[in-house]
Structure 1
């Protein structure tokens, strides 16, 4: 099983990988299909108007997650990786005012967001909770092209046919040196080869790309992560969306810097810095800033926080260590996604912050010199203690409880790595069992607790 580190860690915008980045990418994909001419050219039909509908979790929390805005931006020809977050409001205002989108390489299409973009809470699309439908019509209103896509977590978008193939196809052994599909295989291959998990993951990546490109890509991922931390520490004021949530990272940062400069001994200091870094990222994410899915936007703060913490408190955390951390984390994230899910709409927040915490624990354990067995143990400890966690965002916004939840996910990751490093890697619950338990728990969990804002904090906290 091969899932690239660049599939696990995608550069994009907040507040949600599945609900913001996914719909934007799906809209762009629909434009590409439209440009390819998959409509009846024989009768010289010309696409003139577009419509879109969001279903399931995308409909219930679409406004709070910016899914409607993402569709507009995608149909206007933009993608999550390259769009300027500061330009988004202007683009949306222009489309709303004109009633048209004019993506590069296309004619102008009629698209009136108030009329042509529907959040359909009544009609789920079978296959996945995050369903979308896009349609194109000619000038006479005749349907030319209709496509259904699903945003399956972490910014991944698939068509209906691709989703069916993913669910029905057996485990595909791809042409990489170490094609582990689960943690047991990963440990067996590490033992047989004498390689670390990071080294095996690197070999798999380098079977597809050059070492130079791989290292440059890892540098870029860490650069975007660390820049997001820095921006989050510098901003204050309220987050958008109506909950009136105040940014706290800047104020906490100033307090901690004062203590740091005075060399003041505080037994909570390391933990405070760890929590601060996570909150800084997720405040930026909540504001629609540039982030890295790790493995999702809702959980984007955990891995940058643990890496930032390692660089501040561990002298050996240089460039090579950062690369090993990210490669190890991606290996664990790939196993979780392949065998369960990283989508809050599918398994709750255990699949988002729980997965991120497991990935971060594994990465930190590797950075600190842990064996493959200790790394697997660290991931299992972190994931185990997120099992059953629901996704119940207040007001459909990625703010409460998401921002603080990332801080706790980071704390659990460091604790898990520390516990694993104190042992020899032998433990009672294998990571694969924990991942399967998460999958089963998500299957049994009520839909109300899976990113629909229909239960939990979402109904017991006044949204505005």
Structure 2
């Protein structure tokens, strides 16, 4: 089987919430479409654009801001650098003026309520997250291009051959955990060392290290911001942010002025079990409350599950002597490899596999990374990933109101705690006696995804989404 080359920076992407599949992916698709027009020298000839949203993008697109993301992408804005505080004003201007600056330079008539259609009864066969761009040109010609947001911010264009898209040759090609373990045994390298060797097929080690520390910077800023931003989440459910109140309660009036002094204050609280447990929950809540508020987050590997890995990594840094750049980088390298194996063998898209594909995968990634970072063997790290996923199998995606809030935010806290528990279990176990392999649980996850009813796959058609009246919803 030909290997698929996936970089650590494919698994960890800086973007904007609330969803990698429904926000970041469509944003990137709009950018790709605009670039396609530019490449064909047709951008200045565009008279009008209509956007068709299909399947899951249509059913939960409003709650996930898919329409907002598409407009920003068509406008030439980038999710990595665009000021998230300017999103509302930018979208309001487009709506009121009924104009859109295509690619940031060519003005066209555009009325969002008319030119973005939510086709909730239609789906395309390749993937539930599909969108089509229809363009009328000045000469009377028309263009149509369809893109699929396949999870984690990954986007593919209809008609493009992705089977031969590998443009790098990795020294250690990996599709499965068995292959990863083979290279570890053959070379004597740890998981993160194998991954770093592969990353050098794309860029220098220094560039990879700098990039990962930048990813960690964004994660830290998100945790800190989310732990202090009070108020209610947008979308109409009136969900109150809980991380700030928990932060205040745990610190009991301690003074600090920035992230570093905040971390110092947290450390002074000791190492009691309940205290640590509450902080892990606070970190995860903080990230996903930011995500739900269109804040800047890191897909890890998705936005809906963006709080698990930052929470576990912050736990490692704070309570496990992990406050070292090298250890943080190694943690992220190991986590990314486990995530890429899940993507290759199953899916990281909730629209394809339910929440097991998001929270489950992120928990497995965090569990493996924490285990190796704490001195566990490669086999123990993979065992931890298996344990974490085994206890997420079958988890449905049933967001109330189509929003990434209930039960998504709390599920991140549970995924983080399960990752830590899985790591502890694996480090106290002998992998020789394990009856389930990581590859076996990945196959099972994919079989479960195929068997799962579509109403439990990010459509808001089943589960909590229909059994909890919106007026009674509480976080």
| TM superposition shift of 1:267 | 3.4
Residue matched to 1:290: 296
Question: Could you tell me which of 11, 27, 37 is aligned with 1:8?
Answer: 11
Matches within 5 A, 1:5-84: 5-37=8-40, 46-84=45-83
Residue matched to 2:125: 126
What CA deviation, in whole Å up to 9, does each residue of 1:198-219 have, x standing for no partner?
0000000012101111111000
Residue matched to 2:85: 86
The answer to whether the 8 A contact 1:3-1:334 is kept is yes
CA distance in structure 2 between the aligned counterparts of 1:263 and 1:150, rounded to whole angstroms: 47
The answer to whether the 8 A contact 2:77-2:104 is kept is no
How has the CA–CA distance of structure 1 residues 329 and 262 changed in structure 2, closer, same or farther, with 3 Å as cutoff? closer
1:155 is the counterpart of 2:149: no
How has the CA–CA distance of structure 1 residues 283 and 204 changed in structure 2, closer, same or farther, with 3 Å as cutoff? same
| TM superposition shift of 1:106 | 3.8
Residue matched to 1:442: 449
The answer to whether the 8 A contact 2:382-2:438 is kept is yes
CA distance in structure 2 between the aligned counterparts of 1:310 and 1:421, rounded to whole angstroms: 15
| TM superposition shift of 1:122 | 2.0
CA distance in structure 1 between the aligned counterparts of 2:444 and 2:216, rounded to whole angstroms: 31
| TM superposition shift of 1:75 | 1.2
Residue matched to 1:376: 382
Matches within 5 A, 1:137-286: 137-139=136-138, 142-162=140-160, 165-166=161-162, 169=163, 175-258=169-252, 263=269, 266-286=272-292
- Count of equivalent residues: 455
Matches within 5 A, 1:304-315: 304-315=310-321
| TM superposition shift of 1:107 | 1.8
| TM superposition shift of 1:311 | 1.0
CA distance in structure 2 between the aligned counterparts of 1:90 and 1:396, rounded to whole angstroms: 23
Question: Matched residue of 2:227: which SS?
Answer: helix
1:114 is the counterpart of 2:139: no
Question: Could you tell me which of 437, 441, 461 is aligned with 1:454?
Answer: 461
CA distance in structure 1 between the aligned counterparts of 2:400 and 2:104, rounded to whole angstroms: 40
CA distance in structure 2 between the aligned counterparts of 1:407 and 1:374, rounded to whole angstroms: 23
Residue matched to 2:406: 400
CA distance in structure 1 between the aligned counterparts of 2:313 and 2:271, rounded to whole angstroms: 22
The answer to whether the 8 A contact 1:54-1:132 is kept is yes
How has the CA–CA distance of structure 1 residues 246 and 17 changed in structure 2, closer, same or farther, with 3 Å as cutoff? same
CA distance in structure 2 between the aligned counterparts of 1:319 and 1:36, rounded to whole angstroms: 41
Question: Matched residue of 1:242: which SS?
Answer: coil
Aligned-pair Cα RMSD in Å:
1.9
CA distance in structure 2 between the aligned counterparts of 1:345 and 1:89, rounded to whole angstroms: 27
CA distance in structure 2 between the aligned counterparts of 1:353 and 1:128, rounded to whole angstroms: 20
The answer to whether the 8 A contact 1:363-1:375 is kept is yes
The answer to whether the 8 A contact 1:202-1:327 is kept is yes
CA distance in structure 2 between the aligned counterparts of 1:257 and 1:401, rounded to whole angstroms: 27
What CA deviation, in whole Å up to 9, does each residue of 1:203-241 have, x standing for no partner?
000121011111110000000001100000011111000
| TM superposition shift of 1:172 | 6.5
Residue matched to 2:259: none
Residue matched to 1:424: 430
Residue matched to 1:463: 470
| TM superposition shift of 1:121 | 1.1
| TM superposition shift of 1:317 | 3.8
CA distance in structure 1 between the aligned counterparts of 2:302 and 2:348, rounded to whole angstroms: 7
CA distance in structure 2 between the aligned counterparts of 1:37 and 1:150, rounded to whole angstroms: 21
CA distance in structure 2 between the aligned counterparts of 1:26 and 1:171, rounded to whole angstroms: 17
What CA deviation, in whole Å up to 9, does each residue of 1:52-94 have, x standing for no partner?
0110000000000011111111111112111110011111111
Question: Could you tell me which of 360, 363, 388 is aligned with 2:366?
Answer: 360
CA distance in structure 2 between the aligned counterparts of 1:223 and 1:263, rounded to whole angstroms: 24
Worse-superposed segment, 76-85 or 11-20: 76-85
Residue matched to 1:97: 96
CA distance in structure 1 between the aligned counterparts of 2:177 and 2:208, rounded to whole angstroms: 23
What CA deviation, in whole Å up to 9, does each residue of 1:393-438 have, x standing for no partner?
0000000000000000000000001111112322110000100101
Question: Matched residue of 2:330: which SS?
Answer: helix
What CA deviation, in whole Å up to 9, does each residue of 1:318-340 have, x standing for no partner?
11111010000000000000110
Give runs of ≥4 in structure 1 deviating > 4 Å. Answer: 170-174, 259-266
Question: Matched residue of 2:50: which SS?
Answer: strand
What CA deviation, in whole Å up to 9, does each residue of 1:283-336 have, x standing for no partner?
000011000000000000000000001111112441111101000000000000
CA distance in structure 1 between the aligned counterparts of 2:324 and 2:178, rounded to whole angstroms: 29
The answer to whether the 8 A contact 1:183-1:431 is kept is yes
How has the CA–CA distance of structure 1 residues 123 and 18 changed in structure 2, closer, same or farther, with 3 Å as cutoff? same
| TM superposition shift of 1:156 | 0.6
1:344 is the counterpart of 2:343: no
Question: Matched residue of 1:234: which SS?
Answer: coil
- The answer for unaligned runs of 5 or more in structure 1 is none
Question: Matched residue of 1:268: which SS?
Answer: helix
